[in-house]
Structure 1
Amino acid sequence: MTTDAAAQQVAARRPAYLAELAQGTERFHEPRRTDCPWCGSERLRVRLRTTDLIQRKPGSFTVVRCGDCAHSFQNPRLTPEGLDFYRRDFGDGFDGREPVSPFGAGSGTKRRLAAARALAAFDEPECWLDVDTGAAHFPALAKQVLPYTSFDGLDRRAGVEKGVRCGRIEEGHRGSLTELAERLAGRYDAMSMFHSLPRSPDPRAELRAAQAVLRPGGHLLIEAPDPECRYAGLLGKWWAFYHQPRHLHLVPLANLCAELTELGFTVVAVERRAPHVPVDLSAAVALFLNCRMPGPDVPWRARPATPLQLRLRRAARTASVPLVALARTLDTLLAPLLTRTGFANTYRVIARRDAP
């Protein structure tokens, strides 16, 4: 997108954003919970308070942790309208887009191929559904490992339709897994969920939907941020996998495995090192600098950024490149050691759906 086109797009969207913000951001939150949505315990403590560090939209957010089951969740949680507001225009080419993305397909081709191989070791699926597939980059990669598997994708966004047009998937399902589970029941013998559970308002409902969509004997592959990662405590709100306000839940590995077992799955593989995404330090540095440099010209900003402010921001971003690059190098070099000592930021679970 050219600079002029981006400026025109921002100007066109600004009135609608300002009209929404004039009503305040508190209306985007549900009532604050006094109990844990996972186990019902009332032993909750604040884990962090933060703002939108990526898009810098107005608002504040709190993540709490349950003292009994260790489940972490956004509290008060965003309403559906709030989720739409804070997810809208995310990474759409404005200057405020995410500086480092640990969640996209481009962040780890080797990891995603390794995930496909890990599931293929149990069985070669006939048909595989990739949840929150985006533009279906993972299925395109996985075909290198499983050339005879038919891949479909599911996503709320229009990118899934692009995945079909580009031939990366056979079918694209537009909507959420919980909405489409009844229509897709018993259709697949493999399913992948990469970092989709944290975005779900109800992770348990997502797992029940996955159980419905899978055939008996089918395998479910889940990768999710590990809230027990030591980086989470060390970096605080600058830990990219908190991803506020777009992540609603951080499910501990033990809780996930117990829930899968309760639903009639057998957990056949757990991995905490290989799925690690080496971006913790570089993402933290990028997020910190993004919040310290002059703000971008975005439609939720009351007044357009001046030419001087934009020049200063471009200069600051250019000057920050060596520092972010250094942090990225440290991420890569330290990963083999740190993933052995509790700093792995992602876990992978493969579970087989048992026969009723």
Structure 2
Amino acid sequence: MNDESDEGGRIAALRPRYRDDLAAGVDRFFEPRRTDCPWCGSARLTTRLRTTDLLQHKPGRFVLDRCEDCGHTFQNPRLSAAGLEFYYRDFYDGLGEKKLGDTFGGRTKMYRGRAASMLPHDAGPKTWLDVGTGHGHFCAVAGQVLPGTVFDGLDFTDGVELAEREGRVRHGYRGAFPDLAPGLAARYDVVSMFHYLEHSTDPDRELRAAREAVRPGGHLLIEVPDPESRYARLLGRWWLPWLQPQHLHFVPVANLRERLADLGFTVVAEQHAEPHDPVDLLAAGWLALDHAAPREDAPWLPGPPGRARRALRAALFLAAAPALVAGTLLDRFAVRPLSHRLGLSNAYRIVARRD
């Protein structure tokens, strides 16, 4: 059986469960709408973005609100526990495991840069916990930059168990970080959260868990999407870091610095150019094209697309190939060198020392 027919069989096997999940609609996947900011408590909220699931194309509509007092942007109404399970299912694991694993596994240069950002502050950490480690690809590469460091990983998906089996982490902790943190108290020289905090239901609780796990004098390393990026406004719903419905919170850098100070950290480095991922124009073009094209087969759709729809999709992407290549070239060679100066960096990185 070839890969395509095997994938079709897996999708068909999953379709009845998704049909049952969607039979009562998607309202149960959301909590009640908030009337105040989860970061500062202000009631001065405005709608920043309305969108749909542009990656998996699961049904549902999602709203991001912005606090006019502190600038915090958050999903409102937020996904419920049932919603988180539904929209994460088959993205990082299941149907999406191989595709995402290949994507993350090929980002060696980015991982080396993340590990190297620690060198000016602690060139020889002995223990490192990577929270939200996924399949552990960062830890495997970071071990080459910091050969004397032992890496553990933590995640709530079964990817962390795969990371341990593959030897990318010494120990893989599966579960919620705040629940596991008391058992990890003051154990680590470094705790990292790379594009993890935006996925959490309560960022403040995650930061408190990090403070618990980092030893005094150790460091917390955080990288998140930058909601103050000009691309966030220019590209609107097509800006990839919005990543709805998975990203629940977008924290402006000033807010994060203030909260870390409250928790007893001193920020020793703030980076914008270095964590910028040069994919904004390519991703925006791809998302818009994928939104307009006929859908690929997926178990949450009523049935597989016919031959004509598959052919039309292929023809649209073939015709758009020059524009996608142009977007790639602009991202890498025109925008990347000037991303921070132009305010276009799509992420920022903070290194903070626990005092």
Shorter-chain TM-score tier: over 0.9
Matched residue SS, 2:212: helix
Matched residue SS, 2:268: strand
Whether contact under 8 Å (1:279, 1:328) holds in the other structure is yes
Whether contact under 8 Å (1:44, 1:66) holds in the other structure is yes
Deviations 1:195-235 (A, max 9, x none): 00000000000000000111111101000000000000000
Q: What's 1:326 paired with? A: 326
Aligned pairs for 1:187-226 (under 5 A) are: 187-226=187-226
Following the alignment from structure 1 to structure 2, what is the Cα–Cα distance between the partners of residues 104 and 204?
Answer: 29
Following the alignment from structure 1 to structure 2, what is the Cα–Cα distance between the partners of residues 274 and 58?
Answer: 35
Q: Following TM superposition, by how much is the alpha carbon of 1:282 offset from its aligned partner in structure 2, in angstroms?
A: 0.5
2:283 aligned with 1:286? no
Q: Following TM superposition, by how much is the alpha carbon of 1:320 offset from its aligned partner in structure 2, in angstroms?
A: 3.0
2:316 aligned with 1:316? yes
Q: What's 1:341 paired with? A: 342
Q: What's 1:351 paired with? A: 352
Following the alignment from structure 2 to structure 1, what is the Cα–Cα distance between the partners of residues 273 and 337?
Answer: 9
Q: What's 1:247 paired with? A: 247
2:32 aligned with 1:31? yes
Q: Following TM superposition, by how much is the alpha carbon of 1:345 offset from its aligned partner in structure 2, in angstroms?
A: 0.8
Whether contact under 8 Å (1:71, 1:250) holds in the other structure is yes
Following the alignment from structure 1 to structure 2, what is the Cα–Cα distance between the partners of residues 129 and 300?
Answer: 35
Q: Say which is worse superposed, 303-312 or 165-174, in terms of deviation.
A: 303-312
Q: What's 1:120 paired with? A: 119
Q: Following TM superposition, by how much is the alpha carbon of 1:183 offset from its aligned partner in structure 2, in angstroms?
A: 1.4
**Which 5+ residue runs of structure 1 have no aligned equivalent?**
none
Q: Following TM superposition, by how much is the alpha carbon of 1:92 offset from its aligned partner in structure 2, in angstroms?
A: 5.7
Whether contact under 8 Å (2:133, 2:154) holds in the other structure is yes
Whether contact under 8 Å (2:131, 2:193) holds in the other structure is yes
Q: What's 1:76 paired with? A: 77
2:99 aligned with 1:109? no
Following the alignment from structure 1 to structure 2, what is the Cα–Cα distance between the partners of residues 93 and 6?
Answer: 11
Which structure would you say has the larger RCO, counting Cα contacts within 8 Å and 6 or more residues apart? 1
Q: What's 1:174 paired with? A: 174
Whether contact under 8 Å (1:128, 1:150) holds in the other structure is yes
2:267 aligned with 1:267? yes
Q: Following TM superposition, by how much is the alpha carbon of 1:111 offset from its aligned partner in structure 2, in angstroms?
A: 2.9
Q: Say which is worse superposed, 105-114 or 70-79, in terms of deviation.
A: 105-114
Q: What's 2:56 paired with? A: 55
Whether contact under 8 Å (2:78, 2:248) holds in the other structure is yes
Question: In structure 2, do the counterparts of structure 1 residues 344 and 108 end up closer, same or farther at CA, with 3 Å as the change threshold?
Answer: farther
Following the alignment from structure 2 to structure 1, what is the Cα–Cα distance between the partners of residues 103 and 223?
Answer: 13
Matched residue SS, 1:285: helix
Q: What's 2:42 paired with? A: 41
- State percent identity of aligned pairs: 53
Q: Say which is worse superposed, 111-120 or 339-348, in terms of deviation.
A: 111-120
Whether contact under 8 Å (1:6, 1:93) holds in the other structure is no
Following the alignment from structure 2 to structure 1, what is the Cα–Cα distance between the partners of residues 214 and 313?
Answer: 48
The one-letter amino acid paired with 1:39 is: C
The one-letter amino acid paired with 2:255 is: N
Q: What's 2:65 paired with? A: 64
Q: Say which is worse superposed, 167-176 or 240-249, in terms of deviation.
A: 167-176
Q: Following TM superposition, by how much is the alpha carbon of 1:272 offset from its aligned partner in structure 2, in angstroms?
A: 1.1
The one-letter amino acid paired with 2:291 is: C
Following the alignment from structure 2 to structure 1, what is the Cα–Cα distance between the partners of residues 231 and 304?
Answer: 36
Question: In structure 2, do the counterparts of structure 1 residues 30 and 224 end up closer, same or farther at CA, with 3 Å as the change threshold?
Answer: same
Aligned pairs for 1:130-209 (under 5 A) are: 130-209=130-209
Deviations 1:283-313 (A, max 9, x none): 0001000111111111100122223222322
Q: Following TM superposition, by how much is the alpha carbon of 1:159 offset from its aligned partner in structure 2, in angstroms?
A: 1.6
Q: How many residues are aligned here? A: 350
* RMSD (CA atoms): 1.9
Following the alignment from structure 2 to structure 1, what is the Cα–Cα distance between the partners of residues 287 and 204?
Answer: 31
Whether contact under 8 Å (1:282, 1:325) holds in the other structure is yes
**Which 5+ residue runs of structure 2 have no aligned equivalent?**
none
Q: Following TM superposition, by how much is the alpha carbon of 1:268 offset from its aligned partner in structure 2, in angstroms?
A: 0.7
Whether contact under 8 Å (2:152, 2:171) holds in the other structure is yes
Q: Following TM superposition, by how much is the alpha carbon of 1:105 offset from its aligned partner in structure 2, in angstroms?
A: 3.0
Aligned pairs for 1:222-241 (under 5 A) are: 222-241=222-241
The one-letter amino acid paired with 1:117 is: A
Whether contact under 8 Å (1:160, 1:172) holds in the other structure is yes
Question: In structure 2, do the counterparts of structure 1 residues 196 and 265 end up closer, same or farther at CA, with 3 Å as the change threshold?
Answer: same
Whether contact under 8 Å (1:297, 1:310) holds in the other structure is no
Matched residue SS, 2:261: helix
The one-letter amino acid paired with 1:154 is: L
